[in-house]
Amino acid sequence: MRYERQHAWIFVAGVLVAIGCGSRPQDAAATSGDAQGGEPIQLAQAADEVASAPAAGSSTIQGTVKFAGAAPSAERIKMDADPQCKLQHQEPVEKQDVVVNPNGTLQHVFVYVKSGLEGTTFTPPAQAATLDQHGCMYSPHVIGIQVNQPLEITNSDATLHNVNCKPANSKPFNLAQPVKGMKSKKQFTAPEIMVKCVCNVHPWMAAYVGVVAHPYYGVTGADGAFSLTGLPAGDYTLEAWHEKFGVKTKTVHVGDGETASVDFEFAG
Ligand SMILES: [Cu+2]
């Protein structure tokens, strides 16, 4: 009799737990809906939105990085030492350290908010930043990543690469990727401008990783432009970093919902 009663209590407790679990998503959805003043949002959708939320504000800082003076002639890379590298290129390959665009702007400049966001903690995105080794070159040559965001490193070449990254503020790693198609994931645990990664098999290979504690960074491309979107209104110091020409900083104020322009200039 006593044994049967215990079983009955376990059954009742189980039903209560099941009811409790079943009611949670509805409560959470209702809370989400109330918070936004709209229709209730399903939990999974709300979680996606949080994970991919790009920013905490509605302000933008944008600009270009100009290059003053005559563009230096690009240096060619000799890949004769590894036929697997050389046969992937029909055209000569040029070094990527100084790339001046036809419109007089500079490529591969890392621009980021250096100060003005202190006291705010940003969750790293679950989506990995990517660093590919293709044609025995790093792609991209300069990348930005958030602290603790995954970095997916791929070998797209049928030759051995090692990825030797030497951060001062995070754990260094030296990763061998002997097979085409290999992928590895790493991360950096502390901010650092910049982390240099090299391949010891191919001495011309170098990549630079800007590790920041927030999502407000960019790298100039073929148009020399950058755009930091979704910033909270405030006063910021921006820094522009280039591997040959060093760093420049500028201060800027941006109002709520406004767009502020900041241009940088490096000279050769
Ligand atoms: Cu290599």
CATH at 222: 2.60.40.1120
Residues 129 and 250 grouped into a single domain: no
Q: Are 140 and 162 in contact (CB under 8 A)?
A: no
Per-residue pLDDT tens for 36-61? 333 333 333 333 334 444 447 999 99
Q: 32, 120, 35, 103: which is closest to 65 by C-alpha? A: 103
Supply the DSSP symbol for 27: H
Centre of ligand 1 to C-alpha 134, Å, is 9
* CATH at 182: 2.60.40.420
Which of 52, 72, 94 corresponds to the end of one domain?
A: 52
Centre of ligand 1 to C-alpha 155, Å, is 9
Containing domain of residue 67, as a range? 56-122+214-268
Residues 266 and 222 grouped into a single domain: yes
Centre of ligand 1 to C-alpha 136, Å, is 6
Supply the DSSP symbol for 168: S
pLDDT of amino acid 72: 87
> Using CA of residue 80, residue 86, residue 87, residue 89, what is the dihedral sign?
negative
pTM of the shown model: 0.79
Query: What is the token pair recorded at 147?
Result: 């602290």
Q: Is residue 135 part of a domain?
A: yes
- Tell me the residue type at 36: Q
CA distance 252 to 38: 35
- What's the rounded mean pLDDT across residues 182-186? 98
Centre of ligand 1 to C-alpha 138, Å, is 9
CA distance 192 to 177: 25
Centre of ligand 1 to C-alpha 180, Å, is 12
Q: Is residue 30 part of a domain?
A: yes
Centre of ligand 1 to C-alpha 235, Å, is 42
Confidence tier at 74 by pLDDT (50, 70, 90): confident
Residues 230 and 208 grouped into a single domain: no
H or E element at residue 65: strand 59-68
Per-residue pLDDT tens for 84-115? 999 999 999 999 999 999 999 999 999 999 99
Query: What is the token pair recorded at 227?
Result: 């755009």
Residues 136 and 241 grouped into a single domain: no
pLDDT over 90 at 234, yes or no? yes
CA distance 167 to 39: 46
Centre of ligand 1 to C-alpha 178, Å, is 10
Q: Is residue 151 part of a domain?
A: yes
- What's the rounded mean pLDDT across residues 184-209? 98
Residues 42 and 72 grouped into a single domain: no
Q: Is residue 172 part of a domain?
A: yes
Q: Please list the alpha-helical segments (H only) found in 77-125.
A: 83-86
Q: Is residue 194 part of a domain?
A: no
- For the stretch 127-134, contacts whose Cβ atoms lie closer than 8 Å and that sit 24 or more positions apart, written own/partner, are 127/52, 128/152, 128/185, 130/154, 131/163, 131/197, 131/207, 131/209, 132/156, 133/157, 133/161, 133/163, 133/177, 133/199, 133/205, 134/88
Centre of ligand 1 to C-alpha 35, Å, is 51
H or E element at residue 163: strand 161-165
pLDDT over 90 at 250, yes or no? yes
Structural domains of the chain, count: 3
Residues 62 and 172 grouped into a single domain: no
Residues 76 and 185 grouped into a single domain: no
- Tell me the residue type at 89: H
- Tell me the residue type at 228: L
